């Protein structure tokens, strides 16, 4: 089994997703998210489920990220709360491994309770970048303001940074 480890650190930009159902001409109603709304290839601690549901309900961008993750049948995303800052290499990090049967496993480590909405969306965007096959090492050489290497030796992208911020603003601002 080949082990491909790529670590990505915190910040964010996203893809966007789903629309709220409408009633009549002017009112918009969104039912609370259920486990059926979140991707079946996403595993998260029960304590994070209310936050993920809130993100789903209030962020179009997060719903689009979830749709993209759901659409990758050979992908498994697991969210972990990091036991130490070293696991997350700061505030958050994602490690990739090609598991049995060729399944891409993305393990997202979150270091603490601060900025979780932004960090989750940020790391989900790194997962999407990986699935898209972005060559971050090459891109860092070509466009160092778009992709760069952090002090921890991990790649960071403006795309993930901005996406995280967008989702945080959508959720905190209640934007649909």
Q: For residue 89, what pLDDT is reported?
A: 60
The helix/strand count (H/E) of the chain reads as 6, 9
Q: For residue 37, what pLDDT is reported?
A: 86
Q: For residue 112, what pLDDT is reported?
A: 76
Residues in the chain, pLDDT under 50? 1-29, 176
> Whole-model pTM?
0.78
Instruction: Tell me how far apart the alpha carbons of residues 60 and 170 are, in angstroms, rounded to a whole number.
Output: 8
Q: For residue 18, what pLDDT is reported?
A: 33
In the structure encoding, which two tokens stand for residue 70, read together? 């759901």
Instruction: Tell me how far apart the alpha carbons of residues 144 and 147 are, in angstroms, rounded to a whole number.
Output: 5
Q: For residue 17, what pLDDT is reported?
A: 33
Task: Report yes or no: 64 and 17 within 8 Å, Cβ to Cβ.
Answer: yes
**DSSP label at residue 144:** T
Instruction: Indicate the average pLDDT of the chain.
Output: 80
């Amino acid at each position: 089994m080949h082990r491909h480890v790529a670590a990505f650190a915190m910040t964010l930009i996203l893809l966007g997703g789903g629309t709220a159902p409408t009633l009549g001409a002017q009112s918009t109603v969104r039912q609370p998210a259920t486990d059926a709304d979140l991707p079946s290839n996403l595993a998260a601690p029960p304590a994070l489920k209310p936050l993920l549901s809130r993100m789903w309900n209030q962020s179009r961008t997060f719903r689009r990220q979830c749709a993209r993750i759901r659409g990758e049948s050979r992908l498994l995303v697991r969210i972990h709360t990091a036991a130490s800052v070293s696991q997350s290499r700061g505030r958050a990090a994602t490690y990739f491994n090609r598991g049995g049967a060729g399944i891409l496993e993305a393990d997202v480590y979150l270091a603490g309770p601060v900025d979780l909405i932004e960090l989750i969306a940020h790391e989900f965007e790194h997962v999407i970048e990986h699935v898209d096959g972005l060559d971050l090492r090459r891109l860092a050489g070509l466009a160092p303001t778009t992709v760069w290497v952090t002090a921890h030796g991990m790649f960071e992208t403006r795309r993930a940074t901005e996406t995280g911020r967008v989702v945080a603003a959508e959720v905190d601002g209640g934007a649909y």
